[in-house]
Amino acid sequence: MIKFLLMVNKQGQTRLSKYYEQVELGKRAALEADVVRGCLARRKEECSFVEYKDYKLVYRQYAALFIVVGISENENELSIYELVHNFVEVLDKYFSRVSELDVSFTSKNTYYVLLTKLV
């Protein structure tokens, strides 16, 4: 089960967030900050999965942009890892060479892509 999907840049600014499980507005910021810190602290040679509270985080870095997916314990991490890549491929095609700015300036459209891909 996917719990949430975040797109965050290296400075820790959220570019896109989508929660599939209810998280209070006030708690989101703290959670996002935690998640980003957890992912940024990891080195290249370490694996792309981090344990965070009850979730597993799967993250993938594209230039300065991180895509982080929070999943439940029993999910297949590697398949999510590839799903993220698939999502980025779609974005890339849609924006023809996607960049961080595309994602944030036209977040509406990014949401549409996301909705079409993952209900």
Partner 1 sequence: MSDVVEKTLSALPGLFDSQTGAAKITNRLKQLIKSITELTSKHEEENLMKQELCAMKEQVSSPNTSMRQMREVMVRAMYCEMLGYDASFTYIHAIKLAQQGGVLEKRVGYLAVSLFLSEGHELLLLLVNTVLKDLQSTNLIEACMALTVVAQVFPKDMIPAVLPLVEDKLSHPKEIIRRKAVLALYKFYLFAPNQVQHIHAKFRKALCDKDPGVMTASLHIYLQLIRESPDAYKDLTSSFVAILKQVVGGKLPMDFHYHNVPAPWLQIQLLRILSLLGREDQSTSELMYEVLDESLRRAEMNHNITYAILYECVKAVYTIHPKADLLEKAARCIGNFVLSPKINLKYLGLKALTYVVQHDAKLALQHQMTIIECLDHSDFTIKRETLELLFRITNAQNVTVIVEKMLDFLRGCSDEHTIIHLVGKVAELAEKFAPDNSWFIQTMSDVFSIGGDLLQQDVPNNFLRLLAEGSESKEEDDELRLYAVDSYLTVLKEDASQLPQHFLQVMSWVLGEYSHLQECVDQREVIRLLTKLLDQRSVSSETRVWILSALTKISEGQTDLILDLAESLSSSQDTVLRQQALELRHLSQDSQLHGWVLPRGAPWDSMEVDSSLSFLDGFVSEALAAGAAPYKPPHQRQEELSEERALNLEPYSFSLPVSFSSCSMTDRQSPTLLSVSSGLSGNSTELSQKESSSTLILEGVKRVWGKDGYLPQKETAATAPPVDEPSVAVHPSGQQEAAERKEPQPEPSTQNLDKQQLASSLFVGLGAQSSISLLGKSEAPPPRFRKKPRPHESSSSSGTSERSSDSSSRSSHSTTDSFLYGSLLEEEPATSISTPKSTTANGLGQSKHTEGDRRANTSQILGSDMVIVRPNTIQDKHPPSASSDLIALLPPELKDLPHSDVVSLTSDPSLSLASCRMFRDEALLLVIFICNSTETVIKDVAVQLTCEELETASLRGNVVDCLEGKSTSVCHYALLMDEPHTSVSFSGTVSYQTQPGHTNTLPFSGTLSTADFIRPLVVTTEEYGKLWLSLSHDVKQNLKLLTDAGGDPLRTTLDALKDALQLHVVDIIGSEGIVACRLLSGAPCLLHCRVNGAALAMWLRSPHPALPDCILYHCQRALAEH
Decide: 68 and 61 in contact? Cβ < 8 Å: no
CB 71 to partner 1: min, Å: 13
- Name the residue nearer to partner 1 (CB basis): 48 or 99: 48
Instruction: List residues binding partner 1 (CB under 8 A).
Output: 13-14, 16-18, 22, 25-26, 28-29, 32, 45-54, 76-79, 81-83, 86, 89-90, 92-94, 104-109, 111-113, 115-117, 119
Within 8 A by CB and 6+ apart from 37, the residues are 12
CB 85 to partner 1: min, Å: 8
CB 90 to partner 1: min, Å: 5
